[in-house]
Chain A
Amino acid sequence: METLKAQKKDSKSQKAIRITGAEAIIHCLLAEGVDLIYGYPGGAIMPVYDELYKFQDKLTHILTRHEQGATHAAQGYARVTGRVGVAMATSGPGATNLVTGIADAQIDSTPMVCITGQVTRSLLGSDAFQETDIVGISTPVTKWNYQITKVEEIPEIMAKAFYIARSGRPGPVLVDITKNAQFDELDFVYEKCTKVRSYKPAPKPETGSLEKAAELINSAKKPFIVFGQGVILGEAEAELKAFVEKTGIPAAWTILGLSAMDTDHPLNVGMVGMHGNYGPNMLTNECDVLIAIGMRFDDRVTGDLNTYAKQAKIVHFEIDPAEVNKNVKVDVAVLGNSKETLSEILPLVHENEHKDWKAEFDKMYQIEYDTLINKDIHPTKEGLTMGEVIEQINMASGHKAVMVSDVGQHQMIACRYAKFKQSKSNITSGGLGTMGFGLPAAIGAKMGAMDREVVAIIGDGGYQMTIQELGVIFQHNVPVKIVVLNNDHLGMVRQWQELFFDRRYASTVMTNPDFVKIAEGYHIKSRRVSERADLQEAVQEMMASKDPYFLEVKVEKEDNVFPMIPSGASVSDIRLK
């Protein structure tokens, strides 16, 4: 606590107010600019809920139907706004239900603060009713966590929680607060946290690394950029665009990097990874300099590491030193916030064009388009495809909507074909692959961007994991557009079973309920489409709706997502069929 004491000395003295810990928590949230939180009450957090009742004109609490939904909604809100999402739950099961969302936020670097109630201090360790060691449970999946047992700790710890969650490489922070600390009183003064002495949010580039990187980039004949969410988190979209346009280097994105650059930009060559585009995957193994920006060489991006870009020199722009040389050995690491490092390198790189090299991407795109894209988005076969639904949404939204997807085949198709003009528009569970993410995340995204259309694309499997959040959409009339692409299967697992397990469809066939009736039960306008002739009109009706809208599209049951890099194979072994 040395640092906190030191900071206190520096700060201007404010007038203290005598309040309870529970009220102090509300004041902390307000001081951090929070006006919206998601949560679920229960015994050990009741004093805070009592204060939420009193402060409801300043702080909106949305009651999700399950604590997992609260975390995903907070994540959706955080991802669309760039602000810290807040979720709240009681002790025991309330707290453990947060864990999936916390783990998701950790692996996808999403700023989130979770507040949990805890049994009173004297009962800790006694296996009291709804006592669980949430600090112990959440340790491996939080950026930081802390248990407050004394009321005096509240302002310092809350300030630290928000600072840690949003600074550097963002992530989830959990603050567990015992009930006695909520009831007790303190002399409350709030000071925002601006530093923690043992924590360095963003390193500075090592001396000479920018020059070395620029030299490699300037002398490259076949350079290739792969950018990830680091560009979005660092708000470096303009810097990326300037860098790409000056150097003329073809740029591809990871699934979480999607929307950081206009999807129609001439140098945007598509997605890398398991279901990414043909060109960027194949040419990863032909480029001479690979420039990775704010991405972490996830196995779904690299495939077999032993055959990944071995011919290339690798330059890695990265905020987290632990990511450098973790999966892929790099030649030059440029440490730091992407906004700063990209603006610093811009004057060092030469204006260039790589026409012949870019033409190779175009050629491969044409092959991919003729082999499968055209059939996906303009099918002539009988059954509806997921791709044509996304294409219709693109047309109806004018590339302006926020797209939230769940996990599975529909996610890959949505991310492959969705078009974006604006950053922070693609919200999906990338690293953790959390089925059930989509619906609650769409609620958070919509509430964070009320001026934008938010379309949730969800499979019939993931939809039923958090379907109860329709209750939130109904109760608060959150005008999200929900599209369930229903193939009556757990499609991605079924695809793997077809390709790698001799079509033994173990537990992937779903007998589904009438989704339209369920939506109607929540008084949500809804429609089902199973004929191509009705699709365009149905999508247009959905997009035109001022209210929440549910659209179920019955798609072909056994379609597969291609291209595909089989698990563990090389990026250049990508299969088009």
Chain B
Amino acid sequence: MGKQWYTISVYSENHVGLLNRISGIFLKRHINIESLNVSKSEIEGVSKFTIVVFTTEDWTRKIVGQIEKQIEVIKAYYHTDDETIYQESALFKIASHLLFDERQIQNIIKESNAQIVTVNREFFALAKTGRRHEIDEMHDALLPYGIMQFVRSGRIAVTKATMPITEILQEFQEN
């Protein structure tokens, strides 16, 4: 079975030790977490982990099974890239004088649909949201001019299919 990108979405209680439990599941199997994001979800009081891995479907399915087994996990799903709408965000910190010295930078900003978040005498900050490769392209374009700082977030994703968490919670409560 071939390896590919999978986005694992975990709905859970907001519990302090859970990240450790979940990351241990990957560690034990030598599967690298390519990206990880934790946020609130569409349901109040329910957290959502978005984890990206590059592995086989078989391993992904087994990992999801182990994650779901954790007491505070309500439900975990996995999806391929085709089944999700996904984005990453990046921030670039660049010296302000370059904006005037290097005309090309303004073109890069326009072409990449990036936003200028702040500008002061020393530096300006650019925010870019998009697919990994789009952020990489922008990064590569800016690199020759000098990037003071760069950071990219983990993937966030929503699925095309429904995730019936409310119903599942209901069912758990009734059991």
Say whether A197 contacts B21, CB under 8 Å.
Answer: no
Closest to B69 in A: A322
Say whether A136 contacts B65, CB under 8 Å.
Answer: no
B13 within 8 A of A: yes
Question: Which of B13, B24, B71 has a CB less than 8 Å from the CB of A140?
Answer: B24
Say whether B68 contacts A139, CB under 8 Å.
Answer: no
Say whether A145 contacts B17, CB under 8 Å.
Answer: yes
Chain A positions 198 through 210: 1 when the CB is less than 8 Å from some CB of chain B, otherwise 0: 1111000000000
Query: Which residues from 6 to 62 on chain B have a C-beta closer than 8 Å to any C-beta of chain A?
Result: 12-13, 17, 20-21, 24, 28, 45, 61-62
Say whether B169 contacts A139, CB under 8 Å.
Answer: no
Closest to B21 in A: A139
- Report B-chain residues with C-beta under 8 Å of the C-beta of A195: 172-173, 175
Q: How far is the CB of A425 from chain B (nearest CB, A)?
A: 29
Question: Which of A198, A321, A324 has a CB less than 8 Å from the CB of B72?
Answer: A198
Q: Chain A interface (Cβ within 8 Å of chain B)?
A: 2-3, 135-136, 139-140, 143-147, 164, 195-201, 320-322, 324-326
15 new A-B contacts, CB < 8 A, other than A199-B72, A324-B65, are A2-B45, A136-B20, A139-B20, A139-B24, A140-B24, A140-B28, A143-B71, A147-B17, A195-B173, A197-B13, A197-B169, A197-B173, A198-B172, A320-B69, A321-B68
- Report A-chain residues with C-beta under 8 Å of the C-beta of B69: 320-322
**Bound: A252/B44 CA distance, A:** 49
**Bound: A140/B29 CA distance, A:** 12
- Report B-chain residues with C-beta under 8 Å of the C-beta of A321: 65, 68-69
**Bound: A145/B12 CA distance, A:** 16
- Report B-chain residues with C-beta under 8 Å of the C-beta of A139: 17, 20-21, 24
B66 within 8 A of A: yes
**Bound: A147/B16 CA distance, A:** 10
Closest to B24 in A: A140
Please tell me the number of chain B residues within 8 Å of chain A, measured between CB atoms.
Answer: 22
- Report B-chain residues with C-beta under 8 Å of the C-beta of A199: 71-72, 172
Q: How far is the CB of A297 from chain B (nearest CB, A)?
A: 13
Say whether B17 contacts A200, CB under 8 Å.
Answer: no
Chain B positions 101 through 120: 1 when the CB is less than 8 Å from some CB of chain A, otherwise 0: 00000000000000000000
Query: Which residues from 154 to 175 on chain B have a C-beta closer than 8 Å to any C-beta of chain A?
Result: 169, 172-173, 175
- Report A-chain residues with C-beta under 8 Å of the C-beta of B21: 139-140
- Report B-chain residues with C-beta under 8 Å of the C-beta of A164: 71
**Bound: A188/B30 CA distance, A:** 45
- Report B-chain residues with C-beta under 8 Å of the C-beta of A136: 20
- Report A-chain residues with C-beta under 8 Å of the C-beta of B73: 198
- Report B-chain residues with C-beta under 8 Å of the C-beta of A324: 65
**Bound: A133/B17 CA distance, A:** 12
B90 within 8 A of A: no
- Report A-chain residues with C-beta under 8 Å of the C-beta of B62: 322, 325-326
B135 within 8 A of A: no
Say whether B172 contacts A322, CB under 8 Å.
Answer: no
Most chain B CB within a 10 A radius of its CB, from A198, A199, A200, A321? A198
Most chain A CB within a 10 A radius of its CB, from B65, B66, B73, B169? B65
Question: Which of A2, A196, A325 has a CB less than 8 Å from the CB of B71?
Answer: A196
B74 within 8 A of A: yes
**Bound: A135/B20 CA distance, A:** 10
**Bound: A143/B21 CA distance, A:** 10
Say whether B13 contacts A198, CB under 8 Å.
Answer: yes
**Bound: A135/B62 CA distance, A:** 25
Most chain A CB within a 10 A radius of its CB, from B24, B74, B173, B175? B175
